[in-house]
Amino acid sequence: MCGILAVFSPKHSSVDPIKLKHAADIMYHRGPDGRNIWHDAKRQIGLGHARLSIIDLHHGHQPLKNQDATCIAVVNGELYDYKRIRAELQADGAVFRTESDSEILLHLWEKYGAECVHHMRGEFSFVLWDARQEVLFIGRDRFGIKPLYFAHHQDTWYFASEVKALKSLGVPLCFESTATMLAFTYGLCDSRTLFDGIEQLPPGHTLLLSKSHSSLKKYWDFNYPLRGETSKIDFQDAVSTVRSHLLESVKLRLGADVPVSVYLSGGIDSSVLAGMAQQVSSYAPKCYTVSFQDANYDELAFARETAQQFHLPLQVVSVSDNDLAEHFSEAIYRSEGLIENPAPIAKFLLSREVHRNGDRVVLTGEGSDEIFGGYPHFRQDVYLHNREGQDPAELKDFQEELTKANALFSGGLMGDFVASGQKDFDTLLGFTPMIYKTISSTSERVLGLFDEFSLVAKKKDSLAKMFLSSFEINSQMAGRDPLNISMYLWSKSFLINRLLRAYGDGMEMSHSVEGRVPFLDHKLVEFVKTLPTHFKSRGLTDKYILREAAKPFISESIYRRQKHPFSAPVMPTGSKSRLNQFLCDTLKSHVMQRMGLFSKKACNGIADHLVNPNSPNETNIEMFALRMVSMAILQQKLIEN
């Protein structure tokens, strides 16, 4: 894991080495082991790299060059199974300069051209300059695990792992109002950001640039099967195959020249990773877990149970309300995203502990819910729209039992109802996924937070359509099972922007920690996507097939436990907690008005409600407050600083 950047100015000699070096230094937290830059003689192309040493600790410095220095590349992430690929390339005559996994990119490009990404397995983003063809080749992994932002500004292309590096290169920063409204409601798609003129390279895409041409190309997508055309595989055979794929994925992600640890909660996802890692590793991987004082959120007992079962060392990080308040601003600035629960701040502190202990690689459980249908709102979609293969007896008293078992998800479990903004979903998808129905029902309240509400009101009925227009409905969702449609939308919005970037990469790399995501191995996902929906969600049981596949590697209590979100305690309204006071003070500060996004009345109203609640049944106040304060931090520390 590293930080990368590039500047391509085909019409001007405008690459500034000083700015390039400064932008690399801005990402020192991503690469504490050295920052290097390269530019051509004409200063039309420049590359930069901030290195976190994981493989080939002493010789894998970047930018990487091929034998005659005609291809130069910077890579962020890990390319798995690289030793086999390297041997095949060497048999074809390729000469390697390092033992780094990243170097295979250069020779895959020379052999396969733009099709080289089909031969890459892992979590990556990269920029490659081919001087012979005078083309810049940019790519990102299939799921968007590794970030890559870009802007085309004044005839120059800019690329970087973080927005703050783009700003350092000279790209202007300001919030884009429509994107902000979407982020506060349905979410951003996989190519948008909060910032005007700044995009993400979508996952599973490459971008080819020359002096006169640009070509964005998709090389991978989920491609769920049409309804009724899912695999006919026997369930037990499917269980064995899932287990085999996941074991292979874990084994590949344990490959490093440094020890690999595990982020362990009390859920099935991290528990099975710990169990599998213990079996296939030559050492006992260290586990790290967060503990909260509130018993409703604390999972320490379950984490200890797994650690003791497999004789794994467990490091516990206790996080208090004061800790969340003290580190809120720094964590938001580093992650460059919004939060609606304080849990990512706890992840920030967990990663700090990993760094303090001298560790730098962890396995994490993100992605499991998106491919196995883990969230409660996915199970509601199955209950309402996708009951094929379900046992009617297991659906008895479904809504009541689901709500009872998922108190922490109560905001998204509102049952079957009609929401004012769902017509676009119904028209375009044939149904409205439960999570978006819930969002639709609260969107008018959310938009009431924004300034110039009379203008916003004209947009409120089109936000759902704008959100959906970002996706390939005909090729990726039309004719698919409702559960698969819901998972697809969620993976292309919340997973990439919140879980993988703001909650994952942003918090981990703040402390030079590389997160590896075994559930988002494309070979595992390509198998799971073909399975019938009732293999994934069965009555009240989430991730049914994963539970069966994981059974030899988890305890009985973990096996039977329902999905428990990684959430931090939300401060009760009216509390005098330090975090609550921090939110109130920020909401009433001048920075909220300098953004020009939120109405002063709304900011003051939410702040007042946090201290003196108007109604004990008021919902979503904390979520609104956390998102708005996140924006204020980004305004102050990223845009204005």
Q: What are the tens digits of pLDDT across the range 366-394? A: 999 999 999 999 999 999 999 999 988 88
| Residue 384, phi then psi, degrees to nearest 5 | -85, -30
pLDDT average, residue stretch 578-602: 93
3-state helix, strand, coil in the chain (%, to 5): 45, 15, 40
Kindly tell me the burial class for residue 509, based on how many C-beta atoms sit within 10 Å of its own C-beta (0-12, 13-18, 19 or more).
buried
Does residue 94 carry a pLDDT above 90? Answer: yes
Q: Do 157 and 293 reside in the same domain of the chain?
A: no
| Residue (of 227, 230, 229) closest to 429 by Cα position | 227
Instruction: For the chain, give the percent of residues with pLDDT over 90.
Output: 81
pLDDT given for residue 612 in this prediction = 78
State the residue for tokens 């108190």.
407
* Residue 293 three-state SS: coil
How far apart are alpha carbons 260 and 54 in whole angstroms? Answer: 10
For strand 149-153 and strand 287-292, is the pairing parallel, antiparallel, or unpaired? unpaired
pLDDT given for residue 497 in this prediction = 95
Q: Do 255 and 146 reside in the same domain of the chain?
A: no
Six token digits for residue 595: 């953004």
Q: Do 92 and 204 reside in the same domain of the chain?
A: yes
Q: Which of 165, 192, 218 is the last residue of a domain?
A: 218
pLDDT average, residue stretch 176-194: 94
Does residue 533 carry a pLDDT above 90? Answer: yes
Instruction: For the chain, give the percent of residues with pLDDT over 70.
Output: 94
Where residue 610 falls among pLDDT bands split at 50, 70, 90? confident
Does residue 237 carry a pLDDT above 70? Answer: yes
| Residue (of 109, 35, 36, 101) closest to 66 by Cα position | 109
Catalytic residue annotation: 2
Six token digits for residue 402: 């689901």
CATH number at residue 320: 3.40.50.620
Q: Do 193 and 242 reside in the same domain of the chain?
A: no
Q: What are the tens digits of pLDDT across the range 264-293? A: 999 999 999 999 999 999 999 999 999 999
How far apart are alpha carbons 135 and 138 in whole angstroms? Answer: 10
Where residue 401 falls among pLDDT bands split at 50, 70, 90? confident
Residue 532 lies in a domain: yes
Q: Which residue segment(s) compose the domain that 81 sits in?
A: 2-218
Contact 364, 516 (CB under 8 A): yes
Where residue 448 falls among pLDDT bands split at 50, 70, 90? confident
Does residue 458 carry a pLDDT above 90? Answer: no
Q: Do 253 and 291 reside in the same domain of the chain?
A: yes
Q: Do 350 and 244 reside in the same domain of the chain?
A: yes
Q: Do 141 and 246 reside in the same domain of the chain?
A: no
Does residue 454 carry a pLDDT above 50? Answer: no
Q: Do 124 and 210 reside in the same domain of the chain?
A: yes
Its pTM stands at 0.95
* Exposure on the CB side of residue 150, measured as CA atoms within 13 A: 24
Residue 225 lies in a domain: no
Per mean pLDDT, which range of 425-439, 573-587, 590-604 is the poorest? 573-587
CA angle (39 as vertex; 34, 45 as ends), nearest 5: 125
Contact 165, 7 (CB under 8 A): no
pLDDT given for residue 220 in this prediction = 98
pLDDT given for residue 540 in this prediction = 87
Q: Do 264 and 143 reside in the same domain of the chain?
A: no
Contact 286, 259 (CB under 8 A): yes
Q: What are the tens digits of pLDDT across the range 18-62? A: 999 999 999 999 999 999 999 999 999 999 999 989 988 788 899
pLDDT average, residue stretch 244-270: 96
Q: What are the tens digits of pLDDT across the range 473-494? A: 999 999 999 999 999 999 999 9
Greatest CA span in the chain, whole angstroms? 73
Q: Do 536 and 622 reside in the same domain of the chain?
A: no
Give the chain's domain count: 3
pLDDT average, residue stretch 575-598: 91
Residue 462 lies in a domain: no
